[in-house]
Structure 1
Amino acid sequence: MDPYSNPFAPGAGSRPPELAGRDNVLEEAQISFGRALRGRSARSLMLLGLRGTGKTVLLNEIGRRATQSGLLVSQLEAPEGESLAKLLYPEMRRVVRSLSTVEAAKQLAERGLRGLRSFASVFNITVGGIDVGIEPEPGLADSGDIQYDLPILFKAIGDAAQSAGKGWALLIDEVQYLSAEDLSALIVSMHHISQQGLPVVFVGAGLPQVAKLAGEARSYAERLFSYPTIGALDGASATHAVQKPVEDEGAQISNEAVSEIVSKTQGYPFYLQEWASTSWNNADGDSIELPDVQGSHNETIARLDDGFFRVRIDRLTKAEIKFVQAMASLGDGPYALSDIAEAMGRKISSLGPARANIIAKGMIYSTDHGYLDFTVPLFAEYMRRQA
């Protein structure tokens, strides 16, 4: 089949041709945006899921819908090792400058700019084009404590947005990379916003451990956010995600072919896109049949092994690789830490540093006390193939 007409998009964060099985999450976000714009308390969301489940794609779609709803949108990715202050400052400044053009919000926005000037100074943030004529206001977001200063800035933005008849949607991907202090500051800021009914909504996305991290940062986080789980698609949604794009291109795919793709990928969105894309390219005529899907097995696995899986194992040290090899040798997770220690011929107490480092790199997470699992679906199979 014509590769130029291939509808599938197996890329990092690439929007699939059919965003199936996520309607409930999108509707929940849409309701939060609508409530925020009406001055009503709007619950923020934290999307939780493994790698390859489509969290980033969903976050992008939520951002698009927020823009359509009339909100100012800031969409960011939390990189490892960067402070939240430096991450947020350019976007907060952009949003406040935009609000300052609305006459009804001009004074409040200018106060926000004064706070941002102080904030940039105390957190040593260097950004080109510092606003001429804007002087910092003593005592406004200048304590140097982000858990105190950030809520003040969020309120300033919320007040200006409310006066302008607008709202602000803050979207952050890879939340698990925020430090405990920064995550706490973000939660406190949204708590204050929620209490005052200001038109600011936060939507975060991260690995499953984010819920625990948020709870440890602030006990009320479990009530402040909704935590939708973004997992594998159910059978009907996975079938729809494969079948509809093919038919939209005027082609066909047999039920047996669809079932094989859904079964082999276990419904994980990224794998669905990869396998369906390869099957399309390998099919003759205008229909994808079961032999086309089965014949695409080796090529699809090779693509995943050399790309999606490989880039993650390359981040680990030799000692950390031995740790995850021991996990994979035990079958499929979750894995008891005691079993991992036994497989490595080590004491549990000696595994702490490697365990902590691999969790910090986003490769594994704690599913329960004393248990671990991979953050990448089917990663254990990959490790066993390499062995």
Structure 2
Amino acid sequence: MDAIRNPFAPGAGTPPPELAGRDDLRTSIQVALERARIGRPAKSAMLVGLRGVGKTVLLDRIRGDAEAAGIHTVRIEAPEGRSLPALLAPQLRQALLRLSQVAAARDLAVRGLRALAGFASKLKVTFGDIEVGMDYAPEPGLADNGDLEHDLQALFEQVGLAAKAAGTALAVFIDELQYVEEAQLAALITAMHRTEQRQLPVVLVGAGLPQLRGRLGNAKSYAERLFDFPTIGPLAPQAARRAIEKPLADEGVRIAPEALEQILAVTQGYAYFLQQWGSHTWRAASVSPITADDVATASTTAVAALDESFFRVRFDRLTPKEKKYLRAMAEIGPGPHRSGDIAACYGAIVTSLAPVRSALITKGMVWSPNHGDTAFTVPMFDEFMKRTMPGDAWR
């Protein structure tokens, strides 16, 4: 096989050659955006799922769909340690500058830029990381109270009014939303609630780990009525097959049925793992059709690559206590697990491990599907923990 022609794309947010199994969701969000554009009620969406299911890829593809339809978009990623106002302000400035080029929206877009100037200048005292260009002087009394919840609401209203005047909509895409602090999430929810009440064409499409749903609900009790929460999970078998078969067929390569089933079994349909196994299987094969022996050979290198990148980068962020907690989870299986069972395996009482569990949730390593349950946010991480901390020495 020609290594240069390898069609598969394992990477962080790297678009796969075939985005299979996500058409219905893309269509539903396209409908919401078009409804917003014409002033009809439209629910924003929060894409939730484990690591490696393709949330970032899907978020970017939906954004591409929106831009192709003439919807204005902004996109941010919410890393740990950055404030939401600091991330939003430069992107909203760019959106308002673009809207100001539309004659019908110019005055409202300029007023939005004045609101942004007041927003940034007053909130910089609270959020020192805000850095944004000032194109116009602030308008006194507009988004300048110094209170995030009130000011973000006023700012989003101005952006929505400008988008409405321009005959378009603004779609705000935010990845890794689970890292945003609760008070800032509450302000974002309030701002979106206000734009919905005023039927302004602003739609939020967020993505995050499964705990995002609970964090939004804690921030504002009405969040679950304001947003749809589509779960992004492993691909269904038919879609997973297509994700492997079509890129191969496009290169004139076939795969034996038993080889394909082997890939589906080992990857469990997770989008990132499908790309890893596809890529390594291509490298392992010498001729078409690809055989089960090729997949078996590729599995060794694929697991090693995952261990040194996808898994290792998360493992290296952990403290010794956190590693031991996850190793105890792995010892009793993929999960989810009751806190008491983990504590028994760890060799400690439940209450003493509460801070460790809380830190792991904050780092996005585990989540709680139900009260008292704990599950990995990274598929197959239990197997990795056993490989990297073998035997009983971890106890």
Q: Quickly name the TM-score band, shorter chain normalised.
A: over 0.9
The equivalences for 1:10-159 within 5 A come to: 10-124=10-124, 127=131, 129-131=133-135, 134-159=136-161
4+ runs deviating over 6 angstroms: none
Q: Distance in 2 between matches of 1:246 and 1:102?
A: 45
CA contact (8 A) 2:339 2:374 kept: yes
TM-score of the superposed pair, with normalisation by structure 1: 0.98
Partner amino acid, structure 2, of 1:60: D
* Per-residue deviation, 1:126: 5.2
**1:292 and 1:307 mapped to 2: Cα distance?**
22
Identity among equivalent pairs (%): 50
Structure 2 equivalent of residue 250 of structure 1: 252
TM-score by length of 2: 0.96
Q: How many residues align?
A: 385
Q: Does structure 2 conserve the Cα–Cα contact (< 8 Å) formed by 1:239 and 1:258?
A: yes
Unpaired stretches in structure 2, ≥5 consecutive residues: 391-395
Kept in 2: contact 1:45–1:228 (CA 8 A): yes
**Shift in Å, 1:188:** 0.9
Deviations 1:253-309 (A, max 9, x none): 111111000001111110011011100111112321111001111111100111100
Partners of 2:221 and 2:117 lie apart in 1 by: 31
From 231, 235, 238, the counterpart of 1:236: 238
**CA distances 1:123-176 after superposition (whole Å, capped 9, x unpaired):** 226536421xx2211221111111111011111000011011121110000010
Aligned residue for 2:161, secondary structure, equals: helix
Which whole-Å CA distance do the structure 2 matches of 1:73 and 1:129 have between them? 19
What does residue 323 of structure 1 align with? 325
Cα displacement (A) at 1:108? 1.1
State the alpha-carbon separation in 1 of the partners of residues 305 and 357 from structure 2: 28
SS at match of 1:73: strand
CA distance in 1, matches of 2:132, 2:222: 37
Letter in 1 for 2:365: M
Distance in 2 (CA, whole Å) between partners of 1:192 and 1:128 is 24
Q: Which of 260, 279, 283 in structure 1 is aligned with 2:285?
A: 283
Shift of 1:197: 1.4
Q: Give the secondary-structure state (helix, strand or coil) at the position aligned to 1:253.
A: coil
Correspondence 1:213 to 2:215: yes
- For the residue of structure 1 that corresponds to 2:374, the secondary structure is strand
Distance 2:132 2:91 in 1: 13
- Tell me the distance in 2 between the aligned counterparts of 1:161 and 1:269: 35
The answer to whether the Cα contact below 8 Å between 2:334 and 2:376 also exists between their aligned partners in 1 is no
- Corresponding residue for residue 222 of structure 1: 224
- Structure 1 distance, partners of 2:52, 2:204, is 22
Gapped runs of 5+ residues in structure 1? Answer: none
Tell me which amino acid in the other structure corresponds to 1:76. I
Asked whether the 8 Å contact 1:33–1:69 carries over to 2, the reply is no
The amino acid across from 2:283 in the alignment is N
